[in-house]
Chain A
Amino acid sequence: MEVFFEWFRVLYDETGINLPFLYDSYDRNRMVDGFFMTVKLSIVCLFFSVVIGVVGAWLQNSPLKWTRRIVNVYIQLFRNTPPLVQLYFFYFAISSLMPTVDNGFGGQQPMLGGFAWAAISLSFFAGAYNVEIFRAGIEAVPNSTIEAAEALGFSRLTTYVYITLPLAFRVALPSLNNNLVNLVKTTTLAYAIAVPEMLYEANQIWSDNVNVTEMMIFLLLIYFALVGVLVWGMNSWERKLKIPGFGN
């Protein structure tokens, strides 16, 4: 393995193509950490944004007026502001208003760090879109199906969980797909609040080594691969969930 990595040092000396995240073990570790940080942040945000979407869409159809209003305010707030502004807002504004905890070195630090705020903020951001995506799916479920469920004695919740959601989910999947791809790409913004994800580490590496071109090409390819894996997974899921005769 070392021989393989050393080859890239030779490549740099011979050609000027500088890929320090391969031959320099320190840069390599940061890049690997950055990659897993991106993966971790993506998975956490994907999970919570879908949960927010499902719950939000259910609450949006609530018979209670104020529940519906609160959900709508949330959607408008997070859909109509830039995600970077939201990140800064959470990290610099909200965080400073929250209680602090001991940092273990005799000082004080905020309760939540950059990663937690990035996960919260991006989940809410993508969640707002997911609510609308699921709502579109729910509205596509024929009323007669829901009436049939009611006739069979299903409650509002059980109708939603067993009848509406499974059908709505299949309708919503293509646009959900789209939004989740966007979410993975949006995780790069976390670099503004110093979450050491891939773009952040790449930025450090290109600043230290002045190899902007190489790092940009590398970043583009690796995000292409990462999002490609997600798209492939979502598409095969879409195919598996397909019910013959429904939705087309």
Chain B
Amino acid sequence: MLTNITRRLAMIAAAGAVAFAAVPAQADAIDDIKERGVLRVGVKADYKPYGFRDTSGAIIGIEPDLAQDVANTLGVKVEFIPVVSSNRMQFLQQGKVDLMIATMTDKPDRRKVVWIVEPNYYSSGTNIMSLKSAGFKQWEDLRDKPVCGIQGAFYNKKTGRDFGAKIVAFKGTAEVYSALKAGNCMAFVYDDSSHVATLEQPEWADYEMPLPTIDDAPWGLAVALGETRLHDPMQEMIIGWHKSGRILELETKWGVTNTPFALDMNAKYK
């Protein structure tokens, strides 16, 4: 009886799932890009130095530079579409962007939704930044303390569940920095690569990145599912970046110490 109902429900559900899945994956993105003459890339606009706005409001950083490389190779102009963690995959699925280079950690469940191009182009881990006077030494110290995060980041759950922190998540980093300064939270859990860049600024002199970095995980550049003709050149592109040391060069350009991941990949493909 139960199995019968289960089966019937499963069939209805499967039909629904097919209907949903059938919507994207039509024309070739690469033809559209060439026709349009513009490559639309989803990048972060609040993640210094990987993607942020300069004083004139233009989006600049390591990832926009990488996107520019792609556009140059394709011989088209580039348009940066600012995305945030909680909407970036949807932008790609819905065709609002052709390509996503938006500090996204490569995770298996994300691979079901977008096509993450291998090899990974970058990597980072999770850490917090907090007042030096707070004196955090280990992740367990965060128990029951208010910790700021970004809505949509995957490590919010881990920080909340495994370390018992009370996550206070905002839409963007600007709100978090404001809340952190006001004392609405005692720490900010985010990518260590972001903290390193932030802590170099004089206004954050009283803050530190005190904990051991965890979950060092690679970042994935992504195209929409089924876009084989865009995926394959992107794969070559990434390998090219590692081979030529382009990633290392951009890190230096934007004031980031060369990361072990970028050095390893450069050594591997050279």
- Chain B positions within 8 Å of A158 at CB level: none
Digitize B121-152: 1 where CB-to-A-CB distance is under 8 Å, 0 elsewhere: 00000000001011100000000011010011
Q: Which residues of A contact B85 (CB under 8 A)?
A: 207
Within the complex, which residue of B134, B152, B179, B183 is in contact with A207, where a contact is CB–CB below 8 Å?
A: B152
A15 within 8 A of B: yes
Q: Which residues of the partner chain B approach A210 to less than 8 Å between Cβ atoms?
A: 89, 109-110, 112-113
Q: B153 an interface residue at 8 Å Cβ cutoff?
A: yes
Nearest CB on A from B165, distance (A): 12
Q: Return the chain B residue nearest A25 by Cβ.
A: B161
Flag whether A96 is at the interface (Cβ < 8 A). yes
Chain B: CB-nearest residue to A209? B109
* Chain A interface category by residue count: 20 to 34
Q: Tell which of B9, B148, B168 touches A11, judged by Cβ atoms closer than 8 Å.
A: B9
A200 at the interface (CB under 8 A from B): yes
Name which residue of chain B comes closest to A15, CB basis: B13
B36 at the interface (CB under 8 A from A): no
A105: which of B6, B13, B134, B170 is its contact (CB, 8 Å)? B134
A192 to B168, CA, bound (A): 10
Flag if B170 contacts A208 (CB, 8 Å): no
Please determine whether B110 and A194 come into contact, CB atoms closer than 8 angstroms.
no
Task: Please state if A15 and B17 are interface contacts (CB–CB under 8 Å).
Answer: yes
Q: Are B156 and A204 in contact (CB under 8 A)?
A: yes
A182 at the interface (CB under 8 A from B): no
Q: A17-B17, A209-B109 are in contact. Are A107 and B175 (CB under 8 A)?
A: no
For the residues of A in contact with B, the DSSP-based class is helix
Contact of B184 among A106, A113, A208, A213 (CB under 8 A): A113
**Is A109 among interface residues, defined by CB-CB distance under 8 A?**
yes
Contacts of A213 in B (CB 8 A): 20
Q: Which A residues between 198 and 248 are near B, CB-CB below 8 angstroms? A: 200, 203-204, 206-210, 212-213
**B157's contact among A105, A107, A203, A208, by CB below 8 Å, is which?**
A208
B182 CB within 8 Å of chain A: yes
Residues of B within 8 A of A109 (CB): 146, 183-184
B122 CB to closest chain A CB (Å) equals: 20
Complex formed: what's the CA distance from A96 to B183 in Å?
9
Q: Counting CB contacts under 8 A, is A14 at the interface?
A: yes
B158 CB, nearest partner CB in chain A, Å: 9
User: How far apart are B128's CB and chain A's nearest CB, in angstroms?
Assistant: 14
Give Cα distance in the complex from A108 to B175, angstroms.
Answer: 18
Is B267 an interface position by the 8 A CB rule? no
Interface flag for A100 (CB, 8 Å): yes
Is there a chain B Cβ closer than 8 Å to A95's Cβ? yes
CB distance B109 to A95 under 8 Å? no
Q: Are A100 and B183 in contact (CB under 8 A)?
A: yes
User: CB-CB contacts of B1-22 with A at 8 A, as 1s and 0s?
Assistant: 0000010011001101100100
**B154 CB contact (under 8 Å) in A11, A110, A207, A212:** A207
Nearest chain B CB to A222 CB, angstrom units: 19
Q: Are B182 and A16 in contact (CB under 8 A)?
A: no
Q: Which residue of B lies closest to A18 (CB)?
A: B109
